[in-house]
Structure 1
Amino acid sequence: MTLNFFQKLVLGIAGLTAFVIGATITSMPHMFYASYGIFLGSEASLLSELRAPGAGLASLGGIMLIGIVRQRFAAVAILASLMVFLSFPAGRLVSLVLDGMPSTGILMALIFECLIAALCLLAFVPKRRVQHNKTQSV
């Protein structure tokens, strides 16, 4: 699969974002979550539950970035970008409904994720062409 410049740019934005956020959660969860006003203690189980999906997010970001330069990974990279940047906003919206209003930092993350999701949809969801069947009058 060959990607055009816009698709590579979108994968780059999505991949870099996912990789950096995931790597930061994995390596520095206290600092990352403090930026949202969430202060973590030293509970090993909680930190493990945060670091594990952080590593997964970093891995998916890496796949997105590899898809830019390796054509055979492009389809997987596109799927990864759509999965990450559609599921994160969806999860935040569910939380907004069920849990109430989060911090301003979380709301800003939601907006940013929605912007990347929109770019991914624009770049990777094929446009359907509408064909009009001409009816013949008898």
Structure 2
Amino acid sequence: MTLDRLQNFALGIAGLSALGIGAAITLIPHTFYASYGIALGSDPSLLSELRAPGACLSALGAVMLAGIMWRSLAEAALVAALVVFLGFPAGRVVGLVLDGVPSAGILAALVFELAIAVICLVAFRPGRGRAGPRVALR
């Protein structure tokens, strides 16, 4: 399957974002969360519970980037991008409803995640672009 420029861009921005954020959560969680005004402390259980999904986010980011390089992974890369960049905002919206308004940094993350989701949805919408084999949502 062939990806066009917008599809490559969508997977690239999604993949780099997920890989970078996931790596930061995994390797430097105190610094990452401090940027949102969250102090983590030193509880090994809490840190483990943060590092595990951080590593998963990194792995999904790697899949997104692999979809650019290996066309056979393009559909898996798109699924990974949509799961991450629709799933995270969904969780944040649940938090808004149940917990109230979070910090400005968390709200900015919500906007960023939604922007990437929109880019992915536009890039992979059915019927977009020229005729020929393209990866598209079905």
TM-score, reference length from structure 1: 0.91
Structural RMSD (CA)? 1.0
Alignment of 1:78 with 2:78, yes or no, is yes
Alignment of 1:96 with 2:96, yes or no, is yes
Hey, what's the Cα distance between the residues in 2 that align with 1:2 and 1:77? 13
The aligned amino acid for 1:41 is G
Hey, what's the Cα distance between the residues in 1 that align with 2:71 and 2:48? 34
Aligned counterpart, 1:36:
36
Query: How far 1:96 moved relative to its partner?
Result: 0.3
Alignment of 1:19 with 2:19, yes or no, is yes
Aligned counterpart, 1:4:
4
SS in 2 for 1:40: coil
Query: How far 1:124 moved relative to its partner?
Result: 1.4
The aligned amino acid for 2:63 is I
SS in 2 for 1:58: helix
Larger C-alpha radius of gyration, 1 or 2?
A: 1
Q: Number of residues paired by the alignment? A: 128
The aligned amino acid for 1:37 is G
The ranges of structure 1 where at least 4 consecutive aligned residues each deviate by more than 6 angstroms after the TM superposition are: none
Point out where structure 2 has 5 or more consecutive residues left out of the alignment. Answer: 129-138
Query: How far 1:78 moved relative to its partner?
Result: 0.6
With 117-126 and 23-32 compared, the bigger mean Cα shift is at 117-126
Query: How far 1:11 moved relative to its partner?
Result: 0.3
The aligned amino acid for 2:13 is I
SS in 1 for 2:7: helix
Point out where structure 1 has 5 or more consecutive residues left out of the alignment. Answer: 129-138
Query: Percent identity over the alignment?
Result: 63
